[in-house]
């Protein structure tokens, strides 16, 4: 089977982790790995894998549009606002891993099918990918939920320059996505870069305000959602809850990384790069099915 070619823009932690995951995909291959720093570890890793590289960033795709059909943007929210215009003109399926909010907000466990018809999808944030499905499950049981708060803690070592530049966008985009996907009236999102040694795993705590929580039903819905997410993020697990106290339900989620680029404490990479590869493979499968169907 011919693999669909992808381009990766951004050669930092997220882009390099994507590169490694794409390299073992049955459906995808990397046609271009592009950034701006010729001395980056990501560029060196790509060259060692025999992948075509460039330091001209998105211009490399403009100059050779045939190098890829899908483009992962792992730069920053500000840069993607410029890249999105170019990728639309080139007719590329853009998977945005920055909190830019340009494209259709996407959580594969919740709205994969409709996202495959979009030109540009936004994977929100690592915290959003980890928590929104759980909050959606809670809201399914308790549409009376008044308020929800997410605290995402990640190892400081796993946060590269792009992540640090996007801290403000992280909180705003995650909050907006929670409200959009779940319908909750008020939401808040916080990210903590934890400098602890040894490095901590990605940890997400969800606080939901409601009266008379139906804990047995909440457990069933949350467990079902956890199993769904583990299909594409193997290290995803609910570690606490739901538990109720003083009108508040608490659920905790941890993500253990696969250790593809950074060590396993970097679950914040895996939760979003696994989602990105999952969407790209689904898109490739759909396009292939359409092409085969068109020939019959």
What ranges make up the beta strands (E) of the chain?
A: 4-9, 28-34, 53-54, 70-73, 93-96, 104-105, 120-122, 147-155, 186-194, 202-209, 236-245, 248-255
Please report how the helices 215-230 and 108-115 are oriented relative to each other, as an axis angle in degrees rounded to 10: 60
Q: CA–CA distance from 131 to each of 27, 42, 215, 244 (Å)?
A: 28, 29, 18, 18
* Contacts (Cβ under 8 Å, ≥6 apart) of 65: 90, 92
Report the C-alpha gap between 65 and 231 in whole angstroms: 32
Report the C-alpha gap between 36 and 96 in whole angstroms: 18
Catalytic residue among 30, 68, 126, 274: 126
> Is residue 115 flagged as an active site residue?
no
Residue closest to 69 by CA, chosen among 296, 294, 285 = 285
Q: Within the chain, what is the greatest distance between any pair of CA atoms? A: 62
Q: Are 46 and 33 in contact (CB under 8 A)?
A: yes
Residue closest to 148 by CA, chosen among 271, 224, 255, 249 = 249
Catalytic positions: 126
């Amino acid at each position: 089977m011919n693999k669909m070619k992808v381009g990766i823009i951004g050669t930092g932690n997220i882009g390099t982790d994507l590169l490694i995951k794409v390299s073992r995909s049955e459906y995808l291959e990397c046609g271009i790995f592009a950034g701006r720093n010729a001395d980056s570890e990501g560029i060196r890793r790509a060259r060692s894998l025999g992948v075509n590289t460039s330091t001209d960033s998105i211009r490399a795709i403009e100059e050779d549009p045939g190098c890829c059909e899908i483009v992962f943007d792992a730069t920053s929210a500000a840069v993607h606002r410029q890249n999105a215009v170019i990728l639309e003109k080139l007719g590329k399926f853009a998977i945005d891993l920055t909190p830019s909010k340009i494209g259709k907000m996407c959580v594969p466990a919740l709205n994969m099918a409709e996202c495959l018809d979009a030109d540009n999808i936004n994977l929100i944030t690592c915290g959003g990918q980890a928590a929104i499905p759980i909050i959606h499950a809670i809201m399914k049981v308790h549409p009376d939920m008044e308020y929800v708060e997410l605290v995402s803690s990640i190892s400081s070592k796993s946060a590269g320059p792009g992540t640090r530049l996007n801290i403000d966008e992280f909180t705003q985009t995650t909050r907006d996505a929670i409200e959009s996907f779940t319908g909750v009236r008020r939401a808040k999102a916080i990210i903590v870069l934890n400098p602890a040694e040894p490095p901590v795993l990605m940890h997400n705590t969800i606080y939901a305000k409601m009266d008379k929580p139906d804990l047995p039903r909440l457990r069933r819905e949350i467990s079902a959602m956890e199993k769904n997410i583990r299909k594409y993020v193997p290290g995803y697990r609910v570690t606490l809850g739901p538990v109720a106290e003083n009108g508040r339900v608490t659920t905790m989620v941890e993500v253990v990384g696969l250790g593809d680029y950074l060590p396993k404490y970097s679950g914040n990479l895996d939760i979003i790069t696994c989602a990105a590869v999952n969407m790209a493979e689904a898109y490739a499968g759909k396009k292939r099915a359409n092409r085969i169907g068109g020939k019959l």
